[in-house]
Chains A and B, each alone.
Chain A
Amino acid sequence: MRQKKEKTRFSHILSLKTGLNPNSSSLGANTTWLLVWSSALAIFGPVLSLAIRGIAAVRKKDKPGNT
């Protein structure tokens, strides 16, 4: 099912486009940004999830009845 979701806003800038398109036939998108951001997510994603896992483990430990 197609998801309709709220757009993420980066402060007051809704989106951006870099460079100039010299091609007289179509609109070029710089895929390098995809790479940069995917890499950032790939690095921070596991760190974030590690932190969440850590918090989850501590909470489990603190629950009454757990030793």
Chain B
Amino acid sequence: MDFRPEHFGGLLHLAHPRLLLWLDENLASVFKQDPGQDVCRHTELTEGGPSQRESLLGAPIEVHMNLSERCWTGCSHCYVDATPSGPVMNPARACRLLDLMADARVFHVALGGGEPLDYPALLEVAHHARKRGIVPNLTTSGTGLNEKTAFRLTRVFGQINVSLDVPPGQGDSFRSDLHVAEQSLVMLRKYSKNVGINMVLSRKTFRQLNKIIALASKLGLGEVELLRLKPGGRASSIYEKERITASQGIELLPRVLSLAIKYRTAIRMDCSLAPFIYYHRPNLDVLSFFNIRGCEAGNMLAGVDASGNLKACSFSPWIEGPAEHMLDFFGNKGAFTIFNELEQTLGEPCASCDYLELCRGGCRAVAYFLTGQASSPDPECPVVLGLPSPYVSLKTAMISWIGRSE
């Protein structure tokens, strides 16, 4: 159990069950050892900033760190353009950055790449994170995994996901070694239940959604995480051809929910898919309570690339500075300005959207790539596209039904 004071009360991190709780002042006071303890470590920095962002945390809850931008798999949708000769982070530097994150009381670090399994000091860095009280998590292609490494990885990582978009033998994928991914999943699952699939959605892989969830269920995996294709690295050149279609975007949430029931599998959707959830007008309180949020770049999360650059999120087109300065950025309303000022700078229809506070205008990486403007609404959001909602919200339906009795 780990507690971090915040301006609203505090954040309580539990390892079993794996939960992060936002507590109000009243409940948080139970965990504050010293009543004068800094409510927000960066209080001085947050005062007088230009942004009015109310929900700004004192530090991210997770940082995504690319240890290496080297990879031999050559996936066409790789957002870091990883190659066999890409940059690699020095392990001592990675550990120093983890120390800074620990000082800021970041709870989780997601280690990725490139291919992190090709990073010789991967386990050493992961153990260092554990030692400093940060839970390390991992995304891998599974290339080069063997039984011994699988066992050792599951001992230190909290969650390990393997990238797989299409079940082996079932059609076009961004990568060619699909059997490797499946075998890695089988190996990892032998030693831990905290193993899952990362699936990048494109107009082609979308058709494989049912099969991927069925495979996850068959292998007894804990979860599938769906990711929107993002226009970075090599993916930029294929983005407009490969992104999901407007009708697939609309179909996504109902499909995901029915698959979650059918296969009893937890399905996570990444932040950039939020507009496709909100389009169906789910209950705001439920979304807010379970943190089903959109763009949290520069607040709940931050990214560090293999060259040691700090970004609001791994996909952000903007480098903020060397990651060694991260403590000056975390919890600072004057930092990550493009992201922190979105509620003031976004135009219509986001400005008057009920979901703005959670969604924050969709994915910045996509919006900037397609429009060239930093604060443009996500052009692929079905609401921005002006598509009529096929669903009447439950609330409206209930109100009109109750109204009939008058």
Contact = CB atoms under 8 A, between A and B. Distances in A.
A53 B266 contact: no
Interface residues of A, number: 44
B196 A18 contact: no
B238 interface: no
B289 A10 contact: yes
Interface in A16-32: 16-32
A20 B135 contact: yes
Interface of A: 1-3, 5, 7-35, 37-38, 41-42, 45-46, 49, 52-53, 56-57
Interface residues on B, range: 35 or more
B1 to A, nearest CB: 14
Interface in B197-249: 198, 223, 225, 227, 230
8 contacts: A14-B24, A17-B290, A21-B268, A22-B160, A22-B198, A23-B139, A34-B282, A35-B261
Most-contacted residue by chain B among A18, A20, A24, A45 (CB, 10 A): A24
A8 B285 contact: yes
Contacts of A13: 21-24, 27
A66 to B, nearest CB: 14
A33 B24 contact: no
A15 B286 contact: no
A25 B230 contact: yes
B223 A34 contact: no
The 8 closest A-B pairs by CB, nearest first: A24-B112, A12-B27, A28-B268, A22-B137, A26-B270, A14-B22, A33-B290, A20-B159
A24 B64 contact: yes
Interface of B: 8-9, 17-24, 26-27, 61-62, 64-66, 79, 108, 110-113, 135, 137-139, 157-161, 194, 196, 198, 223, 225, 227, 230, 253, 256-257, 260-261, 266-272, 274, 277, 282-293, 296, 300-301, 303, 313-315, 351-354, 356, 394, 398, 401-402, 404-406
If over half of A's interface residues share one DSSP class (helix, strand or loop), that class is named, otherwise mixed; here it is: mixed
A28 B79 CA distance: 17
B233 to A, nearest CB: 11
Contact of A38 (B64, B66, B282, B301): B282
A53 B300 contact: no
B290 A16 contact: yes
A56 B257 CA distance: 35
Contacts of B113: 24
Given A23-B139, A23-B161, A57-B405, 16 more contacts: A1-B352, A2-B354, A5-B284, A18-B17, A20-B137, A20-B159, A22-B225, A24-B112, A25-B64, A25-B230, A28-B270, A34-B257, A34-B286, A38-B283, A46-B398, A53-B402
